[in-house]
Amino acid sequence: MLVFLDTEFTDFLDPRLISIGMAADSGEEFYAEVPFPDAACSAFVREAVIPLLNQYPHAYCPVTEIGMRITAWLKIIKRGSEDVEICIDYQTDWDLFADALDNRVPPWCKLRHVGRNINELLRYAYHKKNGLPEHHALHDAQANRYAFRERPPVTIPSITGSQ
């Protein structure tokens, strides 16, 4: 199972979670917003991210509950003994996810970098077609799910001493 993860955070230098969105390839979705230090937000976050908050009822989650809510949701959508691949296109998303779980990521959750598998034109088209702004954690996770295209692994030919 693939779960596309996106987060919004205060700034790049000292990122603190603002919101987290997850979109499973099976259709299930998770979204939460947590309290954050307003003073720590960059100008970009104040302009592009904060105005998009408070649009979903019941999205607010105390920091002390976020890990429990994420884990409970992942357990609900998990298919039997199958691993859940947490798909990210930016490392900070994983770091904030792990931090929200108090670094107790379930062993059946595996990190997968999918940046090279996200078709940026499809991602853009998803936002446009659905009238959804970028820089909202759930919308961006949904767009990544839509724009994801499996690619064969990159193989590097081995170099041998024989000619």
Place of tokens 């993860």: 5
The CATH number assigned to the domain holding 20 equals 3.30.420.10
For the beta carbon of residue 112, count every other beta carbon within 10 angstroms: 16
Q: Is the pLDDT of residue 158 over 90?
A: no
Does a structural domain hold residue 49? yes
Identify the domain containing residue 135 by its residue range.
2-147
The predicted model scores a pTM of 0.91
pLDDT given at position 65: 97
Residue-wise pLDDT for 100-151, tens only, equals 999 999 999 999 999 999 999 999 999 999 999 999 999 999 999 999 998 7
Q: Name the domain count of the chain.
A: 1
Does a structural domain hold residue 159? no
pLDDT given at position 161: 57
Does a structural domain hold residue 157? no
Cβ(128)–Cβ(42) under 8 Å? no
Does a structural domain hold residue 158? no
Three-state DSSP class for 113? strand
State residue 87 phi and psi, 5-degree precision: -95, 125
Question: pLDDT exceeding 90 applies to what percent of the chain?
Answer: 91
Does a structural domain hold residue 153? no
